[in-house]
Every structure is written in C-alpha cells, then in structure tokens.
Chain A
Amino acid sequence: MHKITIKNIFIFFLVFLCLFPLVIMVLKSFSGTVAGLKLEQYGRALFQTEKFMRGFWNSVIYTVVIIAINLPVSLLAAYGFTQFNFRGRDTIFWAYIVLMLMPFQATIVPQYLTLKALNILDTPRAVILPNAFSTFGTFLIAQYMRGMDKEIFEAGRIDGHSELRLMLNIAMPVCRPLLSALTVLLFINYWSMVEQPLIFITNQQLLPLSVLLGGTDLFRKITYACGILFTILPLLLYLLSYEDLLQGIALSSTTGNQRTPVEIERHNEGKRYDRKVFGKVILIFLGVMLIFTLATQKITYMMTAKVEVVSPRSGELLEIPQMKGSDSLGYFSAIVPASCVFSDGDNHYLYLAMKDRFDESKLQAIKVGITISAQNGVETAVSGAIPGNAAVIRYTTRALVEGNYIDVLYWGNENE
C-alpha cells in the first residue's frame, strides 16, 4: 500500500512536471500590462497584430497544401509498392526508407542547392515541395497494405475493375484510420516546422507562425496568448481524429488485419457524432480567425498614426533664432525642431520613421534615446543613434508608442 502511494506521488509529480509549461503558458496568457487576470494579450493578438495573423495563415496554407499533396501521393506510391511487381521495386523502397531515416540536417545543403537551381528559394514552394513528397507516409501506408489480403484485389481484377478503382474502393476505405492518423501526425509535424522555412525563406512575410513565435521579438507583449492560439488547431484536430489515431497507430504497428473493415466501421459508428462536432468546431475556429484577421486589418489602419517628418540638419545653432547675428551655440551634426524632442524626466527621446523589417512597405515609429547638446527653444541639437538620412517624426495625429505603424503625410523641412 505504502509502495503504491509513493509510486502515485511520483507519477503525479512527473505529470505535473510535464504539464507545468502548459499551465504557466495558460496562466501567463491572462496577464496584461496591469495586475490581475486580463484578456489584453488575446485582444492584442487577435485584433491588433497583423504579423500574428499573417503567420497563422501562412502556417495553415503550408500545412494544408503539404498534406493535400502528400497523402494522395503516399497512397498511390504505397499501392504501387504493394500491388505491383516491377524491377527495382525493393531498391526504390529501400531508398524511400533511407530518405525517411536521414535527418533533415544531413540533407539541408543538397535541398538548398536543388531549390536554388529550380529558382524557387524564398517562395512558399521552397517549403511546400520538399515536404509534400516526403517518404514517411508512403512507408507507413505500404507497411499496412502489405498485410492486406491480395485475393480481394485479385477478385476485383477478375470482375474487371481498374487499378484506380481497386485502390479507391478497396484499399482506401480499409486504410482510412491509418490515413486519419497520418494526417494528424503530418499536421503536427508541419504545423510546428521551423528549420525548413528558416533556411529556405528569408522574406519575413512568408514565414509560418512556428518560426515567428520562436525566433523573433515580434510578439514580445503577447507571447503566451500567441502560444495558446497556436496550439488550438492541432488540439482540435487531435480531438477530431483521436480514435483513428489510436487505431491507425495500432494497425500500422501490427501490420495485420486485427479487425475487418466492417468491424472498424461498426466501432466507429458511435464516434461519428463527435467527429462531426469537432469538424464543425475546426471550421468555426478557422472562420472566426478569418473574421479576426479582417478586424485586425481594419484596426491596424485605424491605429496607424499620420505623421509629418523632418530630416535633421547640421550646422550652426543660434541662441535667438529670429535674430541674425545672434550668439552662436556652436556647430552640431544633428539639429531637429524642438517639437521633435520628448522628455520623460531626465531622459530625452525622439521617434524615427523606419521601415518595418517584417513588412518593408510599412513604416514604424522607433523610439531613440538622445542627449540634448544645445537648444534655443525653436531647435534642439541632439546626439544619439540617429542616422544621417533619418526621418524624425515632428507632428503626429495621436500619441505614439514604440512600434506603432505610421503613415507619413508630409516631409517637412525647417528651412522651407
């Protein structure tokens, strides 16, 4: 009895350790800029972060397209390997297994060179094509099909059915749980892929959410909520095909017909309702994400500040600007209008209009700390990390925060 209690405590401790990151993620996702449970992170992620939405839809597109190509191709290849005898069949299958077992890191360079030769680097095809023809699915389905009774296919052939019809009407229904399990496995694999997009794509706008979430500070304030939202779709898919997943894994491991298709169908009868519900939930989730994407697009535009910018000038700063011949405060390399400079206690800063590195068609307000060298009330000589061709924000339609999108209405000049 005592031994069982200790064992249970140990198991619970292990479970707690496993679930700890998830619990932390859920709890932290409800924290905001002020204390207490807040939905601020979700509000920001779903209504204000275009990059999150773009990353999310990139992930959806990559995953769906890869699976949509990979599954039929794998099924056809597996059928060919198991039903036909042709020269080199075993060698090719062996090559399939070798390719499956080879770690991605070992094939990075040849894959990169191939994609470069095809001139599809830095395009979605660079991620989709190598994965769409991955050999894992073929191997798994072929292993299962090997255990199927060949006499059924022979009988079908005698009846005059074509090979395609045999595959569609006999092989596919029997393989359904396996295909469903394979879909979930592939989905989870490609939903969370990082290395391939990171290596084959440099355009930030084409990166999936898995890369954006992990490697950048784009979602600094909303990391936890983004993590939760990123988990929802695989979780729903897992719930949708939980039974198939268990069956598929069991079937593929035994490689034999433990149950006939009729038995499998009967077993699945009760689960159909659940599947329909989860299928609907997935569609609703995607629909809602589409609405959020639209809302994000509108809100981002509304929140974009209209600004006027100036270039800092270099030269002499007069003590009284209106008076020619007034005393000089010195020569400075960066002089900006006084209205450009903001102060927070003893700290001074200004905002620069800079291209967003995620989307170069947009401009962002970047806060730069400065030191005031001299000022005459109209102009201020400043020093800090200000590039020579900088666009310093002078007027804005709304209070700015670091990272705000801006729209330049007018490029003014103090000397005009």
Chain B
Amino acid sequence: MIIFIILMLLMVLQDYVTRNFASIPGRLEIKFLNGDQQGSLFKATQLLEHEGYLISYIREWETDINNYPVIVYQTDQNYSYFGEFKLLKGRWFSDGNNQAVISKNLSLEIYGTEDGVGREILLEGHAYTVVGIYESNSVLEKIRKGPDYIYVTGNSGLEIYGVETHRLLVASSKESTKHFLREKFMETLYRGGSTLDAEGFLMKDMSKTVGIPRQLFKGYIFVLECIALIWLLQCFLMDLKIFISKYKEKMRTQYLKEAMEEHLTALLITAIKWTVMAFVGIFLIRKIIYFQLELPGEWLPSDYIFDIQFYQKALFNEKITAYPSYYEGLYQSVVSFSKHLFILKIVLTILWYLIVPKALFSGERQDSGKKDTIPKRRLIRHGKTNI
C-alpha cells in the first residue's frame, strides 16, 4: 500500500512538472561566439520577421545587487513571448527606455516590498526604472536552482566588465515555419544573402523539447497499462481455476440446476466480476494498441533499432553545453528529473507488481483449498452416500 501511495504521488509530481514545463514556448537558440556574427543577423531581421519567425536578442551577464546574485538579460519587447514567468505587477517594457522587470524576490530583497514598480535599480552604473514585477514558476525554479533574472531594455552604451554572452532566440510565428525550424531558419538566412560563418555560433533547436518529458510520462503509463493487463489476466485465470475446481466438486453431488439455485448470489457476483474484468481488459488492450511514442529523431538509429554502435556513440559523445541558457538549463534539468523519476517509478512498479499479486493469490489459494462440506442430508436425499 505504501509503495502504491508513493507511486501515485510520484506520478502526480511528474505530471505537475511536465505540465508546468509544457507552458513555456519552445525555441531555437543561437549563441554567438564572436561579435561579427550578430551584425550579419541584425541585417536579416526584417527578412526573418517577414518569413514567419519571431526573434529576440539577448545580452546576458552575471552580477550582484546588494550581494544578491542576479543574471541580467538585456533584451527587447519580443522576449515576453519566450518568457518563463508570470507578470504580477506592472507591464513588460517597451524598446528604447531604461526600463527593467525584476523578480518578486529581488523586489523584496532590495525594496522590502513585493511592489517595486516605479522604483529605480542601478546596474553597471546605469539607472533603470522598474516597470514590472514577475514571479517565476516555483516548481521549475526548484528543479533549476539558480540566481534570479533581471530583464532590462537595450542600451548600446552599457559596458560590462565580466563575461557576457549574446544569444538570439527564434520561434515560429507561421504555420509554414512550425516544423523544422532550424533548417528553415538557416535556409532563409542563406537565401537572404547572410554571410554567417558556421564556426561563429552554436545553434540548439529546442522547438520540440516540450514534448519529451510528456513522452516519458506517457511511456510510464504504457508500462503501467501492460502490467495491469498481465495482472488482470492472471487474476482472471486464477479466479477461473478456483471457480472450476469449486463447482466441479459440487457437481459430483448436485444437479446443475440445484447447484445454481443454491449459489445464485455467488454466481451473480462472479458474473459481475468477470464482466467488469472483461470491460477493463478491453479498455486496457485498446489503450495498449493505440499507444504511440514519439522520440526525437536523433535519439534513434536511422535503420536498425538495435544498432549498438549508434547507441554507444550517442551515449559517449553526448554534448554538454558548458554555459547553458536559462531555457536550456531548465530543459536539461526537467528531462533529467523526468528520466530519474521514470526509472524510479518503473523499479517501484515492478516491486509492487511482484509483491501484490503474490499476496493476493496466496490468500485465494488458501480459500480454494478449503473444500466445501456438503450437508449430509443432501447426500442422503440423492442416494449418493452409503450412510
């Protein structure tokens, strides 16, 4: 029972995390390795927006405010589409002004109130007016574990004395660019005459990543359905065996009609039980047949599913980004969390499966071992005894 409760809680938790993660839009992220590349992209912005892409630039660096570590995102108004947060107070900024959107926690830390809208914040010697307060998704924040973010408007004169990163976020805004975002984006750039150097940036397509934790969740449900069906079949066969042995014994001393009349209630209960079992079985079989698992193309070999060499390569050549973006870090954390939870649940389910039916069937076996005592008067009446 304890294992069952733990399993249910874990399922609810995974579903909750998956739902929260699914609410964040997917994106294509380009991390620039040198400044020249950005200029080439800036020129292509108009073409990209016309071709059905929503883009947002980010200049990112780490700093601290009153010893409170923060990550600053200098970005544009399009970023609100990619955002992983909920605006509690105020609004998202518009381009051009020195405006900032800060977290509820930071507002509490530096202003002593959750409502810091209208106040000023000093970053690298520049003052920004707080126009909005956001609240991060608490579930995802717990999984990610990292400093808070401050979002500020673009300011070309701002000089950073630490490490800064430049990124471009791309999402689809048209049906035609919904699929194969990475390939289409690069082709659009190339058609537009862009001279991007492949060595000058790193590109990560995370437009379909939202679905992966969901697929892991679905995968576990499928395993559960398979186990439930096997268990149901076992139960039915065991029940049938007990039923046959019980009534075979009775039929030696009673006629069918007599036996049925005597055990009408028990027979009715058995019939109802088997009908329910049949319906549940049909339901499970349908679920199992119609289950479909979608995995990213790069996770599977091109031809033979048991291509060991492919899996070896995929396992050992896994690229780990040294300095992941917020979304990439979050995605990695959520996938890792989902994977661990998936394995834990499978182990617990198998454990539960091994314990429960055994306990159940051992009880039933003991019951079936007790032979029904037939009233002596009935035996005498039918002349089937020597008494």
Identify the A interface with B (CB < 8 A). 33, 39-40, 43-44, 47-48, 294, 297-299, 301-303, 305-306, 308, 321-322, 337, 339, 377-378, 395-401, 404, 409-410, 412, 416
Contacts and interface: CB of A to CB of B under 8 A. Distances in A.
B146 interface: no
Contacts of B288: 294
A399 B288 CA distance: 28
Interface in B280-301: 288-289, 291-298, 300
Q: Which 7 A-B pairs have the closest CB atoms?
A: A398-B297, A397-B297, A399-B302, A395-B180, A401-B303, A43-B306, A409-B179
A416 B52 CA distance: 11
A305 B191 contact: no
A40 B176 contact: no
Taking each of B175, B190, B192, B296, which has the highest tally of chain A beta carbons within 10 Å of its own beta carbon? B190
B187 interface: yes
B178 interface: yes
B161 interface: no
B184 interface: yes
A398 B302 contact: yes
A400 B306 contact: no
Nearest to A44: B304
B176 A321 contact: no
30 contacts: A33-B304, A43-B304, A44-B304, A298-B291, A298-B292, A299-B305, A302-B294, A302-B300, A306-B297, A321-B191, A322-B191, A322-B192, A339-B183, A339-B187, A378-B191, A395-B179, A395-B180, A396-B297, A397-B180, A397-B296, A397-B297, A398-B297, A398-B298, A399-B302, A401-B303, A404-B302, A409-B179, A410-B175, A410-B178, A416-B176
B193 interface: yes
Given A294-B289, A412-B176, A395 B184 contact: yes
A47 B293 contact: no
Contacts of B183: 339, 395
B297 A43 contact: no
Interface of B: 175-176, 178-180, 183-184, 187, 190-193, 288-289, 291-298, 300, 302-306
A40 B306 contact: yes
B73 to A, nearest CB: 31
Contacts of A399: 297, 302
A39 B306 CA distance: 10
Nearest to B208: A397
Given A302-B294, A321-B191, A410 B179 contact: yes
Given A47-B306, A48-B305, A395-B183, 4 more contacts: A43-B305, A306-B179, A395-B184, A404-B302
Contacts of A377: 190
A18 B218 CA distance: 52
A301 B293 CA distance: 7
A33 B180 CA distance: 31
A189 B281 CA distance: 36
A153 to B, nearest CB: 30
A362 B13 CA distance: 38
Contacts of B295: 302
A298 B293 contact: yes
B185 to A, nearest CB: 12
A287 to B, nearest CB: 11
A42 to B, nearest CB: 10
B303 A302 contact: no
A28 B255 CA distance: 62
Contacts of B291: 298
A57 B257 CA distance: 42
Contacts of A410: 175-176, 178-179
Nearest to B52: A416
Contacts of A44: 304
Contacts of B175: 410
A212 to B, nearest CB: 21
Contacts of B293: 298, 301-302
A64 to B, nearest CB: 20
Given A398-B298, A410-B178, A378 B190 contact: yes
A308 B305 contact: no
Nearest to A397: B297
A115 B179 CA distance: 49
